[in-house]
A and B are shown apart, each in its own frame.
Chain A
Amino acid sequence: MIITKYRMITEQGYIETLDKKEAVKYGNYEVVTEEIEEPA
């Protein structure tokens, strides 16, 4: 399964969120997609 995350860039790293609104509100973010295992 591929999930889409919104990575908000911080001074030393990042904080990811699935809430795009939160990322847009934060401002400095990038869209990240990642394949993960299907939940059991």
Chain B
Amino acid sequence: MSTINYTYNVIVDRFRQFADGHFQLRRFTHGEISQADLEKEAEWPWMHVKPRAINYSPGTRAFSFEVFISDLPRDKEDKTSYQAESITDCSLIFQDLINEIHLGQMFGDDVLLTRPVNSEPFVEQYTHTLTGVTGIIELSMDYDWSACSIPASWNYNTPTDSPSDGWGALQFIESLDQNGVFVSLLNDEEAPGNSYYYGTDGAGIKGWYASQAGAGTVTSVDLTAGTGISVSGGPITSSGSITVTNSAPDQVVALTAGTGITTSGTYPNFTITNSAPSSGGTVTSVTATLPISSTGGATPNLSISSANGTTDGYLLSSDWLIFNGKFNTPSGTTLQYLRGDGSLATFPTITSGTVTSVAALTLGTSGADLSSTVANGTTTPVITLNVPTASAANRGALSSADWTTFNSKQAALGFTAENTANKQNSLDADGTGAKFPTVDAVNSLSMIDRGKRMVSFFTDFITLIGLDGGQSAVASGGSSTIANGGTIPNRTNQQGVIAFQTGTSSAFGYVTYYGSSGSQQLWFGGGAWNFETLINISALSTLLERYRLIFGFGSVISNAAETDGVFITYDEGGTANGTVASANWQCVTVANSVRTLTTTTTAVTAAAWNKLRIEVNAAGTSVTFYVNGTAIATHTTNIPLPSNSRYFHMKMQIAKQIGTTSRALYCDYVGYENILTTPRT
């Protein structure tokens, strides 16, 4: 008989010792191989023991194990050769195992290896595709079936009606009927029935007694306090007392009866009586008298309007403020008066006298103006009024003599009186004779008389230029033509019109109409000068068809700049005579090439008749330029004067600057005059 109890744990430990001592095996596990084969860093060859069965037979106990000896051959190059080598190595190890069990000291003689032992190679099995051998090893040993050493204590007496699970009702008498010994309860009953308990009755006698139906066991008692009640001492779980206290004792209640109501009784019963009930009835309609009004019916809406000057009603707060702000009734005496600020004041004591009589005015004529005096002003006033006779020095009454004089004066003329001082001087040689009383008187003068006083020229362009009184025209790339009546532009009352036209072959053609054959024979300072013309231009000057116009007095007949002159010019491009580029009329006075220029705000218009006029005063110190009767500029500087040896002639010109399209200047008339300050003898 072995002294070693070879339990499953001891046997597996011996397998582990075998693996640890074997020089080839690198690892040992036991249990399910699917769990042991999961290690990733395992080492090979590997021994694994899996339990299969433990069998008991008379005198013998057998353990059966499945043993795996496995390796992980290289799977590169010659794979099958490595697998064969692994099977060989693993089968030799398996042989070492069974040889050691059978003949070695692993279990000694106490354990027998059941032979034959079968083993079986396997290739690429399990998780790591292992290769090796597996075999069944069954170990047998002695077994005595001993129950003495069982660490237990049992009661095998089971109830007679016990089901298979061992539970059931105990038949006490029978269960303890063993070996002739009986144990029983006093007054026991085999079937006491439901709801019976074994105990004592009121007399202490043991036996089965019926319990009260539905009764249970009270384990705790407590009270819940209502309003005005407090509870203490609860809950009671065994013994004790609970105190109940009225925390809001009864209060004294008293009823007070109003008018027409009586009360009686005591708490908790009271009687309330209407001691003066109405005569009965129900209000069905309510009316109202102004200023109160009612909507009528059983539930009327009563209202009152605000009062004003025509309607009674309630007083508005705003009116109340007004009324409240009014003066209170004065509380003064008859010797007082109410002042503007509402205060009372006593009438002052009158210390002067009283007018008792007023006489009629006393009239006088003294003094140089109206005046009056008063004597005895507080008693018997005497008022004197002085009214002197009106004169150049006195304000006063109109005398009858003066009235007659005034009444005899000239009645209204009915026309504007004319001052003979403004009449034209007589044609006396010294110019200081009596004024002509009428225009007719002037017109009746002989031509020679008029010529003594005036230098003048006028042409209506009825005749050819060379026949109109000594004026001349020069054309360079242009022409001057008496216009046919049908070609007069914008014709109204124009008779005799000349057209100065630039040519089409040259961009610098011009036409100059001038006086005195180009000699600068005219001069300012000897009397007033007037120049006037009526002109019409076909088209305005533009950038591509540019030209300029001159009207007045100049010193050259070409299109060169004027050395001396007084003229109105249109020079849209600012091409000559110191002008600037402008679409407006420009005025120039120039003496020895030193100029005064005014660029006006009056625009030049085309296809319209425009009257241009220049007036020079008698001394030649002021020039005024006009367009259609409106003064557009006045110059007082750079006026050519003979004192500076500056002379000129009449000049009118159109001069082309850019482009070869013909441009036309139409002229209805042109004239000038010089009213000599000193008539000629």
Contact = CB atoms under 8 A, between A and B. Distances in A.
Interface string B548-587: 0000000000001101000000000000001010000010
Interface string A1-40: 0010100001011111110000000000000001011000
Contact of A18 (B594, B599, B601): B594
Contacts of B637: 15, 17
Given A12-B633, A36-B563, A37-B563, A17 B598 contact: no
A37 B592 CA distance: 10
Interface in B135-171: none
B372 to A, nearest CB: 61
A15 B596 CA distance: 4
Interface of B: 560-561, 563, 578, 580, 586, 593-601, 633, 637-638
A18 B590 CA distance: 12
Contact of B593 (A10, A13, A36): A36
Given A34-B593, A36-B593, A15 B600 contact: no
A14 B596 contact: yes
Contact of B596 (A3, A13, A18, A34): A13
Contact of B599 (A3, A12, A15, A17): A12
Nearest to B586: A13
Contact of B638 (A3, A10, A16, A36): A16
A17 B599 CA distance: 18
Contacts of B561: 36
A15 B586 CA distance: 13
Contacts of A10: 598
10 contacts: A5-B593, A5-B594, A13-B586, A13-B598, A14-B596, A15-B597, A15-B637, A16-B578, A16-B596, A36-B563
Nearest to A10: B598
Contacts of B578: 14, 16, 34
A7 to B, nearest CB: 8
Given A10-B598, A15-B638, A37-B563, 4 more contacts: A3-B593, A5-B593, A12-B600, A34-B593
B569 to A, nearest CB: 12
A13 B637 CA distance: 13
Nearest to A6: B594
A29 B52 CA distance: 134
Contacts of A14: 578, 595-597
A25 B49 CA distance: 135
A18 B636 CA distance: 16
A40 to B, nearest CB: 10
Q: Which of B563, B593, B594 counts the most A-chain CB atoms under 10 A from its CB?
A: B594
A17 B563 contact: no
Contacts of A15: 596-597, 637-638
Contacts of A3: 593-594
Contacts of B600: 12
Q: Which of B561, B596, B637 counts the most A-chain CB atoms under 10 A from its CB?
A: B596
Q: Which of B560, B561, B597, B601 counts the most A-chain CB atoms under 10 A from its CB?
A: B597
Contacts of A13: 580, 586, 596-599
A34 B580 CA distance: 15
Contacts of A5: 593-594
A8 B545 CA distance: 32
A18 B578 CA distance: 15
Contacts of A16: 578, 594-596, 638
B590 to A, nearest CB: 8
A14 B560 CA distance: 21
B598 A12 contact: yes
A12 B637 CA distance: 15
Q: Which of A3, A13, A34, A36 counts the most B-chain CB atoms under 10 A from its CB?
A: A13
Nearest to B596: A15
B106 to A, nearest CB: 137
Contacts of B594: 3, 5, 16-18
